Amino acid sequence: MSNKNIKNICVFASSSNFLSECFYEDAAELGKLIGENGYNIVYGGSTLGMMWACAEQVKLNGGKVYGVMPQRLVDMGCRTDNCDEFHLAVGMRDRKQKMDEISDAVIALAGGLGTLEELTEMIVQKQLGYNKKPVVILNTNGFYDKLLEFIDVIVEEKFANKIAKDLIYVAQTPQDAIDYINSYIEPEVTMSKHEIYSR
């Protein structure tokens, strides 16, 4: 059963076509579940890599596809014509802002530096109370294990409060990710100044 407070799920993922098959399989399965559970996808708007593996399955399973892409990537020929809505962004910062604006939840699949940037910005936005969205990491094949270890180091060395770790949900399977979003309850209180800046 879908979460009545969530309609559009923003998916960050790799645009590479040269990955191990398990990554595309998880992306496609997640897309299938997004569509079947009555959600739509907000994503980068291309036909590349895990991004399209996920978005295509959303569309095939009843969900709408909202693409957001900066002009430079459109000029490079990366845009798909299969979006129900396509939003043209000026640049990458504008793109992230638009994706944030039209989404109610975030799932980060395996990806490169762009995905890492998008994910960490959403975590900080939630930490500072700019949103209360579920932020999910789909940890296919242990891809994010090292990042999660590094977050532990950040907390242990007191660069962040341990409460910050609670802002992220780490899912091991696509079903786990969707189950979390289906049952997500928006927190009433964001982190206080004391929790952010004190240890």
pTM of the full structure: 0.94
C-alpha distances in angstroms, 125 versus 47, 106, 136, 190?
A: 28, 12, 14, 11
Q: What is the pLDDT of residue 189?
A: 60
How far apart CA 20 and CA 150 sit, in angstroms, is 24
Q: Are 40 and 14 in contact (CB under 8 A)?
A: no
Q: What is the pLDDT of residue 87?
A: 95
> Which class is 8-197 in CATH?
alpha beta
Q: What is the pLDDT of residue 195?
A: 72
How far apart CA 149 and CA 40 sit, in angstroms, is 32
How far apart CA 134 and CA 3 sit, in angstroms, is 11
- C-beta atoms surrounding 37 within 10 Å: 19
For every one of its 199 residues, what pLDDT tens digit does the chain have, with 9 covering 90 and above?
689 999 999 999 999 999 999 999 999 999 999 999 999 999 999 999 999 999 999 999 999 999 999 999 999 988 988 999 999 999 999 999 999 999 999 999 999 999 999 999 999 999 999 999 999 999 999 999 999 999 999 999 999 988 889 999 999 999 999 999 999 998 876 667 777 766 5
